[in-house]
Amino acid sequence: MRNLILGIESSCDDSSFALMDVQNYDLVFYEKISQEEKHSEFGGVVPELAARLHTQILPTLVQKISPYFSQIKAIAVSNEPGLSVSLISGVSVAKALSISLKIPLIAVNHLIGHIYSLFLNDDFQKPLGVLLVSGGHTLVLDIDKKVEILAKTSDDSFGESFDKVAKMLGFGYPGGQIIENLAKNGDDKFDFTIPLLHDKRMEFSFSGLKNQVRLKIEEFGKNLQNNDICDIAASFQKTAVLHILNKLEKICKERNFKNFGVVGGASANLYLREKLQNLADNFDFKLNLAPLKFCSDNAAMIARVGVEKFRKKEFVDYKNLQIYPKFSELEI
Ligand code: KG4
Ligand code: ZN
């Protein structure tokens, strides 16, 4: 008889369930149903549609895990940050299951979940520097006893800028993988300005770069050819990654990380991974990467945090479990 933690993730446009064994982190069940295709035609996530799809999909996942009901010891659910209507869907299902199965609830910060994607089958290793690049966030963190935020974006996030550039070039959502693929066939010949290059502030900004791309597309107008699109994608990706590297280099000089991880949906970008590996070689730190399958939103990382909190008995009563679309604090 196993002791399992159910992880539920529905903070944006993915509906996912995972069952993880408390003793050995075995992933006994995992499924993610992505809504990307449905949102693609709108060029981004439509909250009302996401909520409607979650209410259709989540009950089917409940049905699939029903053979394991007697082995589930707690339910861990993402309750912050994310789209409110999406978070509510997962939290409501978690509460209903908690009441009917008479098992406790665990609240999980989705961003902490992403960080745990580095340690899905392992104990968490501190101290750890982290670059979190997703559709909603771009953060550099120093994690030891507390989580210290060293840098964040003042406008768009790294992943979001890929989404917006893909949309401007006439492609669907999400744009990250699309831009990365186009860039492989392109020449990074356009000299887009690296944001905040000589600015001492430890922050990111991607909206100016996005505007540079828009102007370049307008310059081509009707003459924009496929090879131009690939060149724009390659030049944009290079500049966006150089912006990240420029700030990270400054941070690395001050922090002397021995262990550093990159997480979040955009951490699947192989060009970014390659450049971060060069940085790791220069600064002599170990680069930790999540399996590509678990970079984007998934319930395995939520279940993994659930295991940690289950061991510490960090439960929350269903009446007090609320959603927080914007996160206030990061605790690990
Ligand atoms: O973590 P995630 O699945 O959802 C959020 O929590 O936001 O991240 C999704 C984001 C999207 O913006 C998507 O375009 C981006 O990650 N992304 C990428 C790549 N794969 C996904 N960005 C750049 N390159 C990629 N290969
Ligand atoms: Zn995410």
User: Which residues on neighbouring strands pair with residue 15, listed in sequence order?
Assistant: 33
Residue 34 CB–ligand 1 contact under 6 Å: no
> What is the tens place of the pLDDT at every residue in 107-160?
999 999 999 999 999 999 999 999 999 999 999 999 999 999 999 999 999 999
Contacting residues for 201 by C-beta, under 8 A, at least 6 apart: none
Residue 296 CB–ligand 1 contact under 6 Å: yes
> What is the tens place of the pLDDT at every residue in 239-292?
999 999 999 999 999 999 999 999 999 999 999 999 999 999 999 999 999 999
**Distance, CA 51 to ligand 2 centroid (Å)?**
16
For ligand 1, atom 3: residue with the closest CA: 296
**Distance, CA 126 to ligand 2 centroid (Å)?**
22
pLDDT at 141: 98
User: What token pair was written down for 246?
Assistant: 């420029």
The stretch 210-214 carries a mean pLDDT of 98
The DSSP result for 158-219, as a single string, is HHHHHHHHHHHTT--S--HHHHHHHHHTS---S-PPPTTTT--S-EE--HHHHHHHHHHHHH
CA angle 281, 156, 209 (to 5 degrees): 75
Helices 226-255 and 270-283, axial angle in degrees (round to 10): 30
For residue 327, what pLDDT band results from cuts at 50, 70 and 90? confident
Residue 117 CB–ligand 1 contact under 6 Å: no
Instruction: Flag whether pLDDT at 328 surpasses 90.
Output: no
How many CB atoms sit inside 10 A of residue 326's CB? 9
Number of H helices, E strands in the chain: 10, 11
User: What token pair was written down for 147?
Assistant: 């989580």
Residue 295 is given by DSSP the state T
Residues with CB under 5 A from ligand 2 (ion): 134, 297
Please state the atom number of ligand 1 nearest to the C-alpha of residue 270: 26
Closest C-alpha to 205, from 251, 234, 246: 246
Q: pTM for this structure?
A: 0.96
**Distance, CA 131 to ligand 2 centroid (Å)?**
13
Residue 176 CB–ligand 1 contact under 6 Å: yes
CA diameter of the chain: 65
φ and ψ at residue 257, rounded to 5 degrees: -65, 140
pLDDT at 329: 85
CA distance 221 to 89: 43
Q: Give CA separation, 83 vs 98, 110, 138, 186, 194, in Å.
A: 22, 11, 17, 35, 30
